[in-house]
Amino acid sequence: MQTWSSIPVPRVAGEPRPLRLFDTATGEVRPTAPGDTARLYVCGITPYDATHLGHAATYLAFDLVHRVWLDNGHDVHYVQNVTDIDDPLLERAERDQDDWVVLGMRETALFREDMVALRVLPPREYIGAVEAIPEVVEAIAKLLAGGAAYKVDDPEYPDVYFDRSATGRFGYESNYDQETMNRYFAERGGDPDRPGKRHPLDALLWRAARPGEPSWPSELGEGRPGWHIECSAIALNRLGTAFDVQGGGSDLIFPHHEFSAAHAEAITGEHPFARHYVHAGMIGLDGEKMSKSRGNLVFVSKLRAEKVDPNAIRLALFAGHYRTDRPWSAELLASARSRLATWRHAASLPAGPSAADTVARLRDHLGDDLDTPRALAALDAWAAEALSSGGSDATGPTLFRAAVDSLLGVEL
Ligand code: 5CA
Ligand code: ZN
């Protein structure tokens, strides 16, 4: 699939700081230690509705990962998928009497526009599940050959499932107990009651064709891919094993990232799939998680149509820590707009206080598990001083502006 357009990222004077991130698997903030090329996979959208601020918050968190690595001089190989075939897409198309292909293409196009408007740096490879079907089939064939997958005994619909015990490590990524796994599996697309499975938690790899559903011919029979294997295959084939960060929102911790890792590790025999599993908190509205299924959504495209400055949306979402579940509100946006106006005013001064220490603090806070609330506070302090006491350093405002652009992606 076509990715979206990029924008220049200014180089910023001073010393970069390495990036430490909280890893769900180990429960610790640990240093990321990329080589020359940092390898990032972030789970993409299921394009059955427009991008809401929850999605935006998650992609903005990983945009900071991307930017901090660039600041550290890494080449960043960023891969993202699009789940352009899955039940929710087919259900929405059916409900709206729409063609599922057209629906997916339309919402993916809108997502790209939203990402460009929000100044999110594009992935190098943007891969749809449908275009990845040959590699998904190859991955499933390997799992079957190695005994990690099986066909259910159902002559009508011989679906293929993954045996969750295949790697002997199942559960290492989420660390959830059995009851939590059971609950999330059932809530998040799993099918615990499918007859013929060896274990209720075994995950679907290949769904045999049903009447009226799209399907593709393959050595597994006519059918379509399950969800988790899409991300295993797309990531493995482009980033290899032990890539630096696997990312998404916290609702992907289980089952999605647990199974993506288990599938990939069963295919390669290598552990770990990713060195860090990084999860963004959920954005809510009116006391509930913002979600397409609940319908309590604020769309990025709607705010854009209302001429809200996308830089203010970035600042509003960065006002809270990326790992914290937090609400969206009109007040949050209003205070981000006023912060943006203050920063713009300060950055437009011909001279100001030196910004070198402020930029060092910005880098320290971002390097410390993307601590944007403290990063924003450090920048507020510089802007307040510039506006109240002035200063004679002509590089102050330009350095401030470059650092805010490069590291936070906010254009002043
Ligand atoms: N296509 C799959 C991943 S392979 C998927 O989960 N798609 S999605 O469209 O449902 O979500 C896209 C991303 O947005 C995921 O990382 C998900 O965790 C994140 N997300 C969804 N809702 C929210 C929310 N309310 N707050 C923060 N992130 C969210
Ligand atoms: Zn995924």
Q: Report the amino acid identity of residue 192.
A: P
Tell whether the model's pLDDT for residue 51 goes beyond 80. yes
Q: Identify the CA nearest to 191 among candidates 218, 166, 214, 157.
A: 157
Token pair 């206080």 is found at: 353
Q: Could you read off the pLDDT of 140-150 as tens digits, one per residue?
A: 999 999 999 99
The pLDDT value given to residue 293: 73
Residue nearest to atom 16 of ligand 1 (CA): 248
Confidence of residue 156 (pLDDT cuts 50, 70, 90): very high
Q: Could you read off the pLDDT of 359-405 as tens digits, one per residue?
A: 999 999 999 999 999 999 999 999 999 999 999 999 999 999 999 99
Confidence of residue 112 (pLDDT cuts 50, 70, 90): very high
Share of the chain above pLDDT 70, in %: 100
Average pLDDT over residues 280-297: 85
**pTM, rounded to two decimals:** 0.98
CA-CA distances (angstroms) from residue 27 to 14, 21, 307, 395? 31, 10, 40, 41
Mutating to test ligand 1, I would choose from 230, 252, 323 the residue with most ligand atoms within 8 A of its C-beta, which is 252
Which ligand 1 atom lies nearest to the CA of residue 83?
1
Average pLDDT over residues 119-136: 98
* Backbone torsion region of residue 308, taken as left when φ is above 0, otherwise alpha when ψ lies between -120 and 50, otherwise beta: beta
Q: Identify the CA nearest to 29 among candidates 277, 217, 340.
A: 277
Residue nearest to atom 9 of ligand 1 (CA): 45
Q: Could you read off the pLDDT of 12-43 as tens digits, one per residue?
A: 999 999 999 999 999 999 999 899 999 999 99
The pLDDT value given to residue 353: 98
Q: How far is the CA of 78 from the centre of ligand 2 (A)?
A: 14
Q: Whole-angstrom Cα distance, residue 23 to residue 88?
A: 29
CA-CA distances (angstroms) from residue 113 to 120, 169, 360? 10, 40, 33
Confidence of residue 290 (pLDDT cuts 50, 70, 90): confident
**Exposed/middle/buried for residue 31 (C-beta within 10 Å: 0-12, 13-18, 19+):** exposed
CA-CA distances (angstroms) from residue 21 to 27, 253, 296? 10, 16, 30
The pLDDT value given to residue 351: 98
Tell whether the model's pLDDT for residue 240 goes beyond 90. yes
Q: Whole-angstrom Cα distance, residue 115 to residue 6?
A: 10
The pLDDT value given to residue 287: 82
Average pLDDT over residues 211-238: 98
The pLDDT value given to residue 289: 81
Q: How far is the CA of 57 from the centre of ligand 1 (A)?
A: 10
Confidence of residue 286 (pLDDT cuts 50, 70, 90): confident
Tell whether the model's pLDDT for residue 295 goes beyond 80. no
